Amino acid sequence: MPKKEKTVFEKTVDGGKWITIGIVVQRVINLVTFVTLARILAPETYGIMIAATLMVGVISTLFEPGFGTVFLQEKENVTKYLNAAWTFEIVKGLILGLLMCAISPFIAKFFQIEGYELVICFGGLLLFLQGAANIGQFFIFKEIQLKKIFIRDLVQQLSYLVVALTWVAFNPTVWALVAGNVASYASGTIMSYVIHPYRPKLDFRLRKLGKLFKKTKWVIGTNTLNYISNIIDTTFLGHLLGPANMGVYSKARDISIIPSSYLNQLTMKAGFPAMAKIQDELGKVRDGFFKMIDVTLLISIPFLAVLIFEADRIVPLFLGEKWVDMVIPLKLLAIAMTIKGVTNIANPIFYGLGEFSMRFKTVLVQVLVMAVSLLYAVPKYGLKGAGYAVIGSFVIVFIYTFMKLIPLIKINILKTIPGVIITGGSGVLTVLLAWPFEEFLHAVHGIAYLAGLTLLGGIYMILVFGIGYLTKAGPYATIVQTLKVLKR
């Protein structure tokens, strides 16, 4: 008897499982790597590397054609485009790598890191390695077979860890970070050919890609604006306040974005292909929206509470006193990234339904509002000003995005209220229960302290699921349905 094909929801849950496992493993590896390196390398060293990788992202995003997004959303067979698209990426990576090396003196001057032009040149190598990856990977995402992506990403993270930590033991300079990044990109490119059998060939008949560019113009614009919105605050700080402040702020951003980054990967890697498959069935799209709301609130609220109430303790305890300037921006960015995490729920829906222009407009609003806010706030308030500016811009984008999303899929937004009350109320109750034990929690260190935070997280989950079981509302139903699929 032939094996029954999985439903879209079952594939999405399975994909989400591997994304979750992957992100947990990667975060552990990243945490070990960062905590170890942060005790050896100064914030200025991170600022230098961040400047180089920022430019890698800027250049690659500005010239990213968006083929993968269109391939995922497209209903017809796109195999005929793959060789030409891969050739385009190879040539583009080579040209952009050389370009980055050529403009390295100007980049170094802008970020106040003169003398580190060669570090920036190595960023050009990363651009080439990125373009050389196997374009056949898109088949994995289209079929939501994300276990293979987990394996690829795991190899990348381990490569960075081993190379960076080995290098820093002998040469504790920015070159440890450079070597780690080169190892990560190179291993990722190699693994892209290991995880999928498609073998692209050079095909210089690039005119056939013209049809794709008609669809990708909105994707190109969105990717460019989205990347600008992700780096504009760090760039402002690096230019106005120097590499040390940029290093502090960037790492605060990296920590605060953990839940929204995970949720965005979950919704885009698993949710976007799923939405594309059910794009003609709005009822299922709405059901997917409410499920994503449940999961987002469940994960975001406890993380927000920990950073708001415990950042003063966590930063010096795990990173050392030289990182204490991170505390205030970390708290502000935790608020901003929680808002962003909820807003990002709209992304797979816009893309899955082919509404590329709508996503472009929301990101455009975000960039414009953030640019104006940063111009005013950073010179006046420094690191705190950047945090205030990011919160304000994300609030405006949240309102604008949902004004567009609600009529698109005909959402009754009142249906989200039970989930908000249950998760938010459970968070408040957990904080109130912990309040009498605050002095005890702050008196312990290391593993005992982490165990205390974990216990509070367990109490929060018990409250969410207990109230959900009694009311049959909130994340309870979504998680139960998901667990049933995982048990099969």
Query: Can you count the helices (H) and strands (E) in the chain?
Result: 21, 0
DSSP 100-140: HHHTHHHHHHHTT-TT-HHHHHHHHHHHHHHHTS-GGGHHH
The one-character DSSP state at 39 is T
* Residue 379, amino acid: P
At residue 42, the 3 state secondary structure works out as coil
The one-character DSSP state at 79 is G
The one-character DSSP state at 268 is I
The one-character DSSP state at 202 is -
The one-character DSSP state at 5 is P
List of residues 6+ apart from 39 with CB closer than 8 A: 319, 320
At residue 239, the 3 state secondary structure works out as helix
pLDDT at 2: 46
Q: CA angle 156-176-60, nearest 5°?
A: 55
List of residues 6+ apart from 37 with CB closer than 8 A: 164, 165, 168, 176, 177
Pick from 221, 243, 347: which is nearest to 288 by CA? 347
**Tens-of-pLDDT digits for all 488 residues of the chain?**
445 556 666 667 776 777 778 778 887 888 788 778 877 887 778 778 877 777 787 777 777 777 777 776 666 677 788 888 889 889 988 988 888 888 888 888 887 788 888 888 888 888 888 888 898 887 887 777 778 888 898 999 899 989 998 998 888 888 888 899 899 999 999 999 999 888 988 888 877 777 777 667 777 777 777 777 777 887 777 777 777 777 788 888 888 887 877 777 766 766 677 777 777 778 888 888 888 888 888 888 888 888 888 888 888 877 777 788 888 889 999 999 999 888 988 888 887 787 778 888 888 888 898 888 888 888 888 888 888 988 999 999 999 999 999 998 888 888 888 888 999 999 899 989 888 887 777 777 777 888 888 898 899 999 988 998 888 888 887 777 766 655 55
CA-CA-CA-CA torsion sign (131, 60, 66, 292): positive
Residues in the chain: 488
| Contact status, residue 82 vs residue 200, Cβ threshold 8 Å | yes
Pick from 260, 299, 251: which is nearest to 419 by CA? 299
DSSP 287-325: HHHHHHHHHHHHHHHHHHHHHHHHHHHHHHHHH-GGGGG
pLDDT at 395: 93
Q: Where are the domains of the chain?
A: 8-411, 415-488
